[in-house]
Amino acid sequence: MGHVYTFSASSREARAVESLMERGSYRGVSGLRTRGRIGSNDVTSIITGMGPSNARRSAEAALQDDNPANGSSAVPFPTTAELASMSPRMPSLALVIGLAGSLTESIQEGELVIYESCVTAEGHFEPCSKQLNNRIISSLSGAGIPSRLVAGISEPRIAGTRDEKLELAKTGAAAVDMESHEIVAVSRTVGVPIAVLRVISDNMDKAMPNFNAALNSDGEFAPVALALACVRRPLATAGLLVSSRRALKTLTRALNAILNTSLEPAGQDVIKVDSIMTSHVGHGHTQNQGDQADRA
């Protein structure tokens, strides 16, 4: 049995995995963790909140603070017979799941993308687990679900215009989100294999409300400002909501195929960050723009 952590920025994204859990799932005291079984896998769903800062804090709390080797306590889980048989708390692997935006005309709404690596505009580079990606692609292929292996980029702000997306695409990224890089970095630091699985919710040319005007200093939406941004662009908001909901259905279908198979990598290809030398940014990724409206 594998023990899988999934990280998602919003409750709607998390629902893609939580809806697949068998009876006996358990919500932690913070309300941001749900644990249950999907197939033979023990799955813990963790909602990080939006943006890189929230993503890093949540990943560190889950992957470092919960590590028994650090001598720290973790969110308690129930002692029912069903959950007692589950694997140890620290995960054997992790998945970042959710929505993303496309940075290229060749990737359209509804397409499932898997990150081979994740970068930032400042040039920070983090590779994902190659072996885990191969397992995921195999599971998806067996279920008849197409996917694309791309480079992803994570940004603290939303790329809402074609020009902004073109600028991000210069890094080599093909998709953009707001959280993946930080979670991948923390996971690699503690030696947990990690993959990023996202569905495109907005095309490169899709009209977007000015969501950046609603972001506060913590990378979260200010409710009143968000409502105003949506009201000012009602057609764009409606279109984004529709595409986001469709994308989340695709994500649920993909996770059902993936988590009902064994994902244990045959050997570790993820090593500590301080053991790696990286020097290139030749990869591209997606920003969670579609998810922004979906969380509204």
pLDDT-based confidence at 159, cuts 50/70/90?
confident
Q: 186 φ, ψ to 5°?
A: -65, -45
Mean pLDDT of 45-51: 93
Q: Give the Cα separation of 283 and 167 in Å (integer).
A: 13
Q: What is the CA radius of gyration of the chain?
A: 18
What is the end-to-end Cα distance of the chain in Å, rounded? 36
Residue 207 has a pLDDT of: 78
Query: Do the beta carbons of residue 133 and residue 114 sit within 8 Å?
Result: yes
Q: Give the Cα separation of 153 and 175 in Å (integer).
A: 6
Q: Which residue has the higher pLDDT, 255 or 285?
A: 255
Global model pTM greater than 0.75: yes
User: Which region among 3-7, 152-156, 208-212 has the lowest average model confidence (pLDDT)?
Assistant: 208-212
Spatial neighbors of 292 by CB under 8 A, at least 6 apart, are: 50, 158, 211, 221, 240
User: Which region among 94-103, 154-163, 263-272 has the lowest average model confidence (pLDDT)?
Assistant: 263-272
Q: Domain with 250 in it: what CATH number?
A: 3.40.50.1580
Q: Which residue has the higher pLDDT, 218 or 259?
A: 259
- Name the residue range of residue 57's domain: 3-295
Mean pLDDT of 263-288: 40
Name the percent of the chain lying above pLDDT 90: 54
Longest dimension (CA), the chain: 55
Q: Give the Cα separation of 67 and 3 in Å (integer).
A: 14
Query: Do the beta carbons of residue 30 and residue 75 sit within 8 Å?
Result: yes
Q: How many alpha carbons lie under 13 Å from residue 61 in its C-beta half-sphere? A: 14
Residue 282 has a pLDDT of: 36
Q: Which residue has the higher pLDDT, 171 or 77?
A: 171
Residue 25 has a pLDDT of: 57
Residue 286 has a pLDDT of: 38
Tell me how many domains the chain contains: 1
Mean pLDDT of 132-148: 96
Residue 217 has a pLDDT of: 73
pLDDT averaged over every residue in the chain: 81
Residue 291 has a pLDDT of: 43
Residue 83 has a pLDDT of: 42
Which of 66-70, 86-90, 237-241 is predicted most confidently?
237-241
Phi-psi region of 3 (alpha: psi -120 to 50; beta: other; left: phi over 0): beta
Given a cut of 80, whether residue 73 has pLDDT beyond it is no
**Three-class DSSP category at 48:** coil
